[in-house]
Amino acid sequence: MLARTVVSILLVAAICGGNPNCARAEDRNASVQQAIKAADAWMKLVDDGKYRESWAQASSIFKEKITAEGWEKMARAARAPLGELLSRKFKLAAYATTLPGAPPGQYVVIEYDASYANNKSVIDKVTPMLDDDGQWRVSGYWIQ
């Protein structure tokens, strides 16, 4: 694993040749991967009905917008009609530094195609952000 990481770093250095835009692209790619990992873990909590725990793991902005009790009530009301999750497949991820209604920062908008017992065609949209503590945490969740 360490050897693969070192080889990846050397390849990036050779390909980028000191181009700062290339390095930033690599940083963005790493950020997107970290954000997807955070979103997947957070969605597992929501899927398991662990709404308070998902609130505790959410970003500071998320927690400023809604209390743990409010989130639990809202999430339960939104998810219950869908029924049990049958499948979820990654669709896309887009890195952004600005989003409507959000302060400037680092965000990744992620979409999943999902199928639930009572609705077979759903898009789960999750937006992790790089939080104040340097960790990727979910700042928004929408069901479409």
Q: Which two tokens stand for residue 9?
A: 């770093």
User: How far is Cα 37 from Cα 64, in angstroms, rounded to an integer?
Assistant: 23
Higher pLDDT, 6 or 78: 78
Relative to beta strand 107-116, strand 85-96 is antiparallel
Task: Please write the tens of the pLDDT for every residue from 108-141.
Answer: 999 999 999 999 999 999 999 999 999 999 999 9
Say what the pTM is. Answer: 0.81
**Could you state, in order of their start, the residue ranges of all structural domains in the chain?**
19-143
Residue 26 confidence (pLDDT): 73
Judge whether 126 and 132 are in contact, CB under 8 Å: no
pLDDT band for position 2 (cuts 50, 70, 90): very low
Task: Please write the tens of the pLDDT for every residue from 55-71.
Answer: 999 999 999 999 999 99
Report whether CATH 3.90.180.10 matches the domain 19-143.
Answer: no
pLDDT at 5 over 60: no
Residue 12 confidence (pLDDT): 35
Task: Please write the tens of the pLDDT for every residue from 35-45.
Answer: 999 999 999 99
Q: Which two tokens stand for residue 119?
A: 């609705």
pLDDT band for position 15 (cuts 50, 70, 90): very low
pLDDT at 46 over 60: yes
